[in-house]
Amino acid sequence: MGYPDTFEGFMVQSQDDWTNFKKQEFKPKKFQERDIDIEIECCGVCGSDVHTINGGWGGAPMPLCVGHEVIGKAVKVGDGVTTVKVGDRVGVGAQIWSCLECKPCKTNNENYCPKKIDTYGAPYPEEMGGVIAQGGYASHIRAHEYFTFKIPDDIPSAEAAPMMCAGLTTYSPLVRAGVGPGKKVAIVGVGGLGMYAIMWANAMGAEVYVLSHSPRKEKSAKELGAKEFISTVDKDWDKPWALTFNFMLNTADATDQFDMTAYLGTLDINGQMHHVGLPDRALPEIKAQMFATNGCSMGGSHIGSRPEMFQMLKLASEKKLKPIIETVPISKDGCKKAVLGVSNNEVRYRYTLTDFDKAFPNR
């Protein structure tokens, strides 16, 4: 049928065959007064995409088009839309709807709305069409206005795309923790999330320390803004850093292998270890006594809010922050290359799928 009745995307048919993408049509949600149709220009490749299609996070509805780091052009806006007009360059992240009426929604915590709908793999209620939300490895995406963000002119699309999830996921906990001048912040991991965490914390004025089991990443970490690089493969690496860090943001995907006593012991009194890396496997065994020696705590978070998205984009624009990304033309083979590169930790440090006009010439 084609747009606007159907969109076209590169979809995985089975978690048992998760690197095999097939281009096919799918039906979007019902178009409503606050919806925006976006013709996609590029889309970042998130670790969430891989965890979802390979079954690491459990079952998922199939066939599925993943991708929640979307940049494109608004081609249709509903009658109730006031913040975006046709032709605007906009982005969509990992959340595409919330009720906007509950306590979290009314306190700029819509990312914790009990009724929230993720950008892909989540069911829409019947009144919205009853379909499964499909993501950004596609010709178009249909998004609610509140979860559609105008992109500053000076941020290139390929760089803006990963900010829609990886950027916000790391920015939000840093700003909520009050990171800034006078604070010592540890970033665990130098990857698709850690890259942004280092950039943001440095731009906020904090002293940034990177904890990593990959010594080869020291140069990148310091280029991104780290003051010190601490190799966690060294024996007793934690001892010199006891009671040092006010806040620790864990972006790693291998937390199940951590010596938690060592990591928690580097926190200052009442410091927090905050998790945004969400591995397939459970955390190591944790005893209550681990928190007693310095009054530390652990927490986690889910993406961020609309105001935080705009604050993050403003910071990136004003500070002229440049992430380290690789672009891959979208295609059946391109999608396979990208998800395998993320799964095998080969990407430096984020992929953005591009060339959507060539892949979807008839949209």
Per-residue pLDDT reduced to its tens digit, 255-264 = 999 999 999 9
What per-residue confidence (pLDDT) applies to 314?
Answer: 98
**Residue 273 has what pLDDT?**
98
Contact in structure between 40 and 139 (CB atoms under 8 Å): yes
Read off the pLDDT of residues 27-68 as tens digits, 9 standing for 90 and up.
Answer: 999 999 999 999 999 999 999 999 999 999 999 999 999 999
C-alpha–C-alpha distance, residues 11 and 9, integer Å: 6
Task: Specify the pLDDT at position 229.
Answer: 98
CA 282 vs CA 52, 285, 286, 291: distances in Å? 16, 9, 11, 19
Q: Each residue of 61-88: pLDDT tens digit?
A: 999 999 999 999 999 999 999 999 999 9
Span between the terminal Cα atoms of the chain, in Å: 11
CA dist 45 and 65 (Å) reads 12
Provide the percentage of residues in the chain whose pLDDT is more than 70.
100
User: Quick check: 213 and 325 in contact, CB under 8 A?
Assistant: no
Cα 29 to Cα 25: distance, rounded to the nearest angstrom: 13
Query: Measured between alpha carbons, how far is 330 from 49 in angstroms, rounded to an integer?
Result: 15
pLDDT reported for residue 279: 87
The tokens 């109730």 sit on which residue? 80
Q: Is 0.95 surpassed by the pTM of this model?
A: yes
Contact 305, 281 (CB under 8 A): no
Label residue 304 by pLDDT band (50, 70, 90).
Answer: very high
Please state, in angstroms and rounded to a whole number, the distance separating the CA atoms of residues 229 and 219: 9
pLDDT for 267 equals: 98
Which tokens in the block code for residue 223?
A: 């280029």
Report the distance separating Cα 244 and Cα 348, nearest Å.
29
Average pLDDT over residues 205-227: 97
User: Is residue 322 predicted with pLDDT exceeding 90?
Assistant: yes
Q: Write the pLDDT tens digit of every residue in 331-347.
A: 999 999 999 999 999 99
pLDDT of 1 higher than 90: no
pLDDT at 290: 96
Q: Percent of the chain beyond pLDDT 90?
A: 98
